[in-house]
């Protein structure tokens, strides 16, 4: 048990810090309660998904500057499709689009051998343009069940729905990957790309897969963004720098190979709580 505590000491420290900040918020703002916590969880939802995606590519040794633009593409796609067809097929199409965009980013990085930061910076503008082609101005509609799924809290325990959605979506995607060979390959490539290659790891495919997972998380982020606003917004939000800050605060090493997703997710809520205290 002591070994497990030492291994996850940074994540545990972040959890303690989050609890202290919540207590401080209650003292500073006595009216802060279940509704305030629900509001924080709802506002943190797109940031959490952007951070999860960024964390995966940082662990593999890269970076993706196009996360906010991919979220915008997914948000407007969801708003346009849900206005014209059933919600579930539209949701699946959006998730597939996010996966494809991330895979395209990864494939370009692997095939061109251009640094990640340069390729994803270029793709940032490409995906921004794609979002504007899909929807020139804010509009569209979102399925009622999607909006209801992230608003409010459960009667038992006052657990915010948005928090549960974050935990379930991240766990469903990341836990199987982390326990599979792909997860080991992602950490191996991030730790030492040459050593991973000599060990038989397909470095190129691993990077493409990592960026595809990032795109999938961005799709979740775009869906949550559309659910929050009720429409599609083609202009990217302030998720890029916020996701990088949360990844670093969450204990993921920028050089790759170390870290996880739990720490960065907790860091997102810490940053949102600090903003609540300051405002």
Tell whether pTM > 0.75: yes
Residue 4 pLDDT: 62
Question: Residue 66: pLDDT band by 50, 70, 90 thresholds?
Answer: very high
Helices (H), the chain: 2-7, 9-28, 34-59, 67-82, 87-112, 116-134, 144-148, 161-179, 181-191, 193-198, 203-229, 240-249, 262-278
Domain annotation covers residue 17: no
Residue 236 domain flag: yes
Q: Does residue 5 carry a pLDDT above 80?
A: no
Give the chain's largest Cα–Cα span. 58
38-47, 114-123, 150-159: segment of lowest average pLDDT: 150-159
176-203 average pLDDT score: 92
Instruction: Give the range of the structural domain holding residue 207, as residue numbers without chain letter.
Output: 44-278
Residue 1: is its pLDDT beyond 70?
no
How high is the pLDDT of residue 36?
A: 82
In a domain, 15, yes or no: no
Number of compact structural domains in the chain: 1
- Does residue 172 sit within a domain? yes
pLDDT, mean over the chain? 90
pLDDT score, position 156: 64
- Weakest-pLDDT range from 23-27, 67-71, 207-211: 23-27
Residue 34 lies in a domain: no
> At residue 214, does pLDDT exceed 70?
yes
């Amino acid at each position: 048990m002591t070994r497990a505590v030492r291994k996850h000491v940074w994540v545990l420290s972040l959890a303690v810090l989050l609890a202290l900040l919540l207590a401080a918020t209650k003292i500073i703002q006595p009216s802060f309660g279940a509704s305030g916590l629900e509001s924080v969880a709802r506002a943190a939802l797109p940031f959490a998904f952007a951070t999860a995606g960024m964390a995966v590519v940082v662990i593999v040794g890269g970076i993706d500057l196009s996360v906010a633009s991919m979220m915008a593409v997914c948000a407007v796609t969801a708003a346009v499709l849900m206005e014209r067809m059933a919600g579930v097929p539209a949701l699946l199409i959006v998730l597939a689009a996010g996966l494809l965009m991330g895979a395209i980013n990864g494939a370009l990085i692997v095939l061109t051998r251009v640094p990640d930061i340069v390729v994803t910076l270029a793709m940032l503008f490409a995906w921004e343009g794609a979002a504007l082609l899909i929807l020139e101005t804010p509009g569209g509609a979102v399925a009622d069940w999607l909006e209801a799924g992230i608003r409010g809290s459960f009667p038992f325990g006052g657990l915010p729905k948005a928090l549960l959605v974050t935990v379930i979506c991240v766990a469903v995607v990341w836990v199987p990957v982390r326990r599979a060979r792909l997860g080991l390959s992602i950490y191996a490539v991030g730790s030492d790309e040459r050593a991973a290659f000599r060990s038989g790891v397909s470095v190129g495919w691993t990077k493409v897969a990592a960026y595809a997972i990032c795109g999938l998380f961005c799709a979740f982020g775009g869906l949550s963004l559309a659910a929050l606003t009720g429409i599609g917004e083609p202009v990217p939000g302030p998720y890029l720098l916020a996701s990088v800050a949360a990844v670093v605060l969450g204990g993921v090493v920028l050089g790759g190979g170390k870290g996880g997703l739990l720490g960065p997710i907790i860091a997102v809520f810490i940053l949102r709580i600090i903003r609540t205290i300051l405002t």
